Structure 1
Amino acid sequence: MIGIGESFALTSAFAWGVAVILFRLSGQQLGPFSLNLFKNVLLLVLLVPTIVFAHGSHWPAIELEHWLILLLSGAVGIGLADTLFFRALNALGPSRTAIGSMLLSPFVILLSFVFLGERLSAWQWLGAAVTLAGVTLVNWRRAHPLEQVADKRGLIALVAAMALMATGIVMAKPMLESDPFVWAVQIRVIGGVASMVLLMLVQGRLLAVTEEFRRARAWPRTVAASFMGTYVAMLLWLAGYKYADASIAAVLNETSAVFVLILAALFLKERLRAHQWLGSIVAAAGVLIVVAN
């Protein structure tokens, strides 16, 4: 019988699939940095009443070391990783980005093996390898040299985003298990927002970001995407890591690619080639191998 952690991970995958489609539409009016900053600030605000509801209004008994690790985890896994993810989303489109995001699970499996002592069976390692094969198949295509340049930049951004996201979540997993859950999530978000604000001030981008917000028009879509992708999906995503092994949760999250493929075809009218559908099936088969074993 599927456990509560696995259920959270799968539900998160669907919520994230919906959010990716909305973020793709929002990304056409806001750049990657501005979009990431907005959704993180919104999450920061939404988590305040959630903390009061879940844990009460008293200050949490969280060790200073845990605060520092969670803040760093947020700076790496939210501030930097999510900005790179949105850059890849704009360059590659939702379907290819979603499949490419399956690289997250191998990174999490490797880091969990090294730092958390988690171990997978031979069948689960095989499933991870099959998932990677599916990712490679989906992202392979012949393209014009100019498109190849854009693809390479998008893929580099995506691989970097997945590596940093995995690093952030593996850093935070012990705290997600031991400390008040929503507080731990909020501290990560504080780290992500603080790192972005600091970077924006150092680079002198405050006026440029403000102008992007001023010119933006489709705010209901942006708010909906941010709510679904950061509040709903992230809470479910982190709950999956809290109640299940990081390696298993990471692989289950990859089913979001299947949801994105379907939603992109339905709402964005994207036409996927045969090798992309085949790659998604191969990747999904890899996920099933991991879960079944």
Structure 2
Amino acid sequence: MLLTLRTRNKTGVRVGIGEAMALGSAATWAVGVILARQLGVHLPPLALNLLKNGLVLAVLAPVALVLHAGAWPSLPAEELAIVVASGVIGIALADTLYFRALNELGAGRMGVIGNLYSPLVLLLGFLFLDERLGAGQWLGFALVGLGVLLVSRPPGEWRTHPQHTARGVVIGLAAIALMAIAIVMVKRTLETQPLLWVTALRLAGAVAGLLGLAALPAMRARMRFVASEVPWRRLLVAALLGQGLSMVLWLGGYKFTSASVAAILNESASVFVVVLAALWLREPLGKRAFIGVVLTFSGIACMLLGRAMP
């Protein structure tokens, strides 16, 4: 059931916190994407994902213990399994694929492909969380999908590097789909459990999954990097800001408001990503991509104006 501006949710927190956290997550995630794009020159995707999440877990777990006075969370076995599985799917697998696509496509294009995330969450929320979609959501879904197709298939690049670009698009779309699945499966647990503990447990599942992937013989070669060439300070900032803080705010958005509203607001991350990619990384944005961006944000506007009905 959607919350209104004059009501409180079941936890007694004033409505508006969830929306603010979702927007804050978008801003910090965009910074993390830009930093990750630069870090990808020195670190392969799997190694980057493992290092970032390991750093965040090392900081977040002690913080959660202190804030909760050393009390461990009491989750039923089924909910614990769901939280851990959500971390494996949404972080270990999805983020690794995301960073791989980011290296191939660039921050600007990958940021717009990420706009497919909210339509997927809306669809999954309709199927599994009983969140009803109105006409505005379906129109938004179509516009965002069209925008993603336009941006992910710039004619010039498909003529010169067809296999490279096609592979990046497929990997990017798979990453976004896994992220959507992972957040919808943990939504109900988020509503009733402490935010920091759920975040820490998801991270623990993610780190375990990443270590398992790194141990595979076929993946060991993809873990190699030259430590002296890694910008460790930038990695620390990217981990704590773009991964840690962004993840807490992201999950907080889903805890304190509906999945559909949080997912829509998360899409504002693409605004920050495209602007930062142009200003910081000097990535060009052609006419076709610009039209895709306009269509994408028109779709987001439709979804905001036509909020999901209870």
The two structures have a TM-score, normalised by structure 2, of 0.89
What residue number does 2:80 align with? Answer: 67
Paired letter, 1:275: R
CA contact (8 A) 1:138 1:279 kept: yes
The aligned counterpart of 1:173 is 187
Match of 2:116 in 1: 103
Aligned equivalents of 1:144 and 1:132: distance in 2? 19
**More deviation, 37-46/84-93:** 37-46
SS at match of 1:269: coil
* Native 8 Å contact 2:39 2:230 kept in 1: no
The answer to whether the Cα contact below 8 Å between 1:30 and 1:216 also exists between their aligned partners in 2 is no
| Partner of residue 54, structure 2 | 41
Gaps of 5+ in 1: none
> 1:171-226 CA distances to partner (integer Å, 9 max, x unpaired)?
111111111111111111111110111122233655763x4153533111121111
Which of 126, 138, 154 aligns to 2:151? It is: 138
In the TM superposition, what are the counterparts of 1:258-273 in structure 2 within 5 Å? 258-273=271-286
Name the structure 1 match of 2:216.
202
CA distance in 1 between partners of 2:167 and 2:230 (Å): 28
Corresponding position of 1:90: 103
Q: CA deviation at 1:55?
A: 2.1
Structure 2 partner of 1:22:
35
Name the residue aligned to 2:303. Answer: 290
Select 1:185's aligned residue among 199, 205, 209: 199
Q: Tell me the CA shift for residue 144 of structure 1.
A: 5.2
Aligned-partner residue type, residue 140 of structure 2: G
Helix, strand or coil for the counterpart of 2:225?
A: helix
The residue identity in structure 2 corresponding to 1:288 is A
Aligned 8 A contact 2:65 2:72 in 1: no
Q: 1:237 maps to which residue? A: 250
- Name the CA shift for 1:204/1:121 in 2 (closer, same or farther; >3 Å): closer
Whether 1:122 aligns to 2:135 is yes
TM-superposed deviation, 1:59: 1.6
CA distance in 2, matches of 1:204, 1:45: 27
Task: Answer yes or no: is 1:162 the counterpart of 2:162.
Answer: no
Contact preservation (8 Å) 2:46, 2:222 = no
Q: 1:65 to 1:97 in 2, by over 3 A?
A: same
Taking the aligned partners of 1:78 and 1:5, their CA distance within structure 2 comes to 21
- 8 Å contact kept, 1:73–1:171: yes
Partner of 1:150: 164
Gaps of 5+ in 2: 6-14
C-alpha separation in 2, matches of 1:40 and 1:107:
25
Moved more, 86-95 or 119-128: 119-128
Runs of 4+ with deviation above 4 angstroms = 204-208
User: In the alignment, does 2:18 pair up with 1:5?
Assistant: yes
Give the 3 Å change call, closer, same or farther, for CA 150–206 of structure 1 in structure 2.
closer
SS at match of 1:212: coil
Query: 144-153 or 35-44: which moved more?
Result: 144-153
Choose 165-174 or 274-283, whichever is displaced more: 274-283
Work out the percentage of aligned pairs sharing the same amino acid: 41
Partner SS state of residue 53, structure 2: helix
Question: Hey, what's the Cα distance between the residues in 2 that align with 1:12 and 1:124?
Answer: 22
Relative to its length, the structure with more helix (as a share) is 1
Give the 3 Å change call, closer, same or farther, for CA 117–245 of structure 1 in structure 2: same
> Residue 216 in 1 paired to residue 229 in 2?
yes
Count of paired positions: 292
